[in-house]
Amino acid sequence: MKSEYDCIAKIYDTVLYLVIKPIRIAVMNVLFKYKEKSILDLCCGTGNQLKLLSRNGFKDLHCLDISNPMLEIARKNGSQIKIYTENATKTSFENESFAIVLISFALHEKNRSTQESFIKEAHRLIKKNGFILIVDYYFDNKTAKLVKIGINIIERIAGKEHYNNFKGYIRNNGLLSLINKDKFKLVKAHKRLFNGVIVSMYQKTMTNR
């Protein structure tokens, strides 16, 4: 998976920027009331979500990814974002280091075990009563047929392993099958891209053990 993203780093923004931009703006709008809070973006890719936040007054911004070519792009433009090369399933940060953790379009492409590890690590990193904001695909009977077709094409192009993980994520009812209701409570959820993507914000409801 890492090698796939190393290969596509240079074309990633060109291919997806315009499609994802409205979703990134929606994420920013959800977070505006938390502008002074510490925010970590797990699996940040080229860093465009935090770059958008930085341009709009957010200050305490951190992001990480395992792909150095992606992070080379993230470091461009002289941003004040703190950037780390780390595995999102096992980071070096201390418990309860951040008020908000973001996971954007990173769950669907991983296998089930890795998805669960992402959520577990995010829970460890979030401060008491802090938040996790997750953006990913969501298909139901209201999702536009052309959107489903388009997303399936994009995911298939990304490679066999990627596509199989995506199909498993959709088949397992996406994020709903990963979130432990004893650890997170839903605050708000907004569907985007003709009901093909959902922006979900959960609050941490119990401390780490």
d(CA 204, CA 92): 20
The pLDDT value given to residue 19 = 81
Report pLDDT for 1: 52
- The whole-angstrom separation of Cα 35 and Cα 9 is 29
pLDDT at 7: 45
Q: How far is CA 195 from CA 23, 62, 82, 143, 191, in A?
A: 12, 29, 33, 5, 5
Residue 197 domain boundaries? 2-204
State which amino acid sits at residue 55.
R
- Per-block average pLDDT, block size 10, for the chain (209 residues)? 48 62 95 96 94 95 94 84 97 98 96 97 97 97 96 91 96 95 96 96 77
Domain of residue 41, CATH code:
3.40.50.150
Alpha helices in 96-199 (DSSP H): 112-125, 145-157, 160-171
Confirm whether 209 is domain-assigned.
no
60 domain-assigned: yes
> Do the domain assignments include residue 73?
yes
The per-residue pLDDT for 59 is 93
pLDDT of residue 79: 73
Tell whether 150 is covered by a domain.
Answer: yes
So what's the pLDDT on residue 11?
A: 45
Q: How many domains does the chain have?
A: 1
Rounded-to-integer distance, Cα 4 and Cα 110, Å: 12
Q: Please report the sign of the dihedral spanned by the C-alpha atoms of residue 50, residue 33, residue 202, residue 194.
A: negative
Residue 195: strand, helix, or coil: coil
Give the 3-state secondary structure of residue 91: coil
Give the model's pLDDT for residue 6: 43
pLDDT at residue 78, as a whole number? 61
- The predicted pLDDT at position 77 comes to 75
**Residue 105 DSSP symbol:** S
- The verdict on residue 171 lying in a domain is yes
